[in-house]
Amino acid sequence: MKCKKVMSHNIKSCTPECTIKDAVLIMKEQNCGVTPVVNESNQVQGIVTDRDIALYTVLNEKDPDTTQLKEFMNKKVFTCFEDDDIESAINKMQKNQVRRIPIVNQENELVGLISLGDIAVKAGEKEEHETFETLEKISEPVHF
């Protein structure tokens, strides 16, 4: 099964110059915990999670109305192409211990997002065991 069959569509994103509040409003509207950060060509530059926002804002006493995402967004983003097999996304999620992965087209433009929930709900029985294995590998403690 291809990523484009499993991914969530109509993903809203932010630019690096958007504020924390902008990202939170998108998360609220989309009922999700992540916002991809893209450049003016809609190419993924970073990603911000609700956890990133909570930790950065609180620990650094930042103002959500003025603090820009480029100050703290995660720039190490793992993506898959929309025509990649879902196994590719699952493998990247496991290897990099991430719960979500942006999906891009051949021009590297953001076209969707795959989460563990998307895999569990949309990928079907064939990938069911992979969903649990993926969750297990993503959730393993990181040893420094």
Q: How confident is residue 108, by pLDDT bands cut at 50, 70 and 90? A: very high
pTM for this entry:
0.83
Residue numbers of the domain that contains 65: 3-139
Please state, rounded to an integer, the average pLDDT across all residues of the chain.
89
CA atoms within 13 A on the CB side of 27: 20
Range 108-121 average pLDDT: 91
Q: Do the strands 100-104 and 34-38 form a parallel or antiparallel pair, or are they unpaired? A: unpaired
Nearest-angstrom CA–CA distance, 52 and 127: 29
- pLDDT value at 144 more than 50: no
- Tell me, what's the pLDDT at 114? 95
Amino acid 128: pLDDT: 53
CATH number for the domain spanning 46: value is 3.10.580.10
The total domain count for the chain is 1
Cβ(21)–Cβ(65) below 8 Å: yes
pLDDT value at position 141? 57
Say if 48 falls within a structural domain: yes
Q: Are 102 and 47 in contact (CB under 8 A)?
A: yes
* Tokens encoding 31: 């009922």
Which pLDDT tens digit goes with each residue over 18-63? 999 999 999 999 999 999 999 999 999 999 999 999 999 999 999 9
In contact, 112 and 8? CB cutoff 8 Å: yes
Say if 144 falls within a structural domain: no
Are 143 and 136 spatial neighbours (Cβ–Cβ below 8 Å)? no
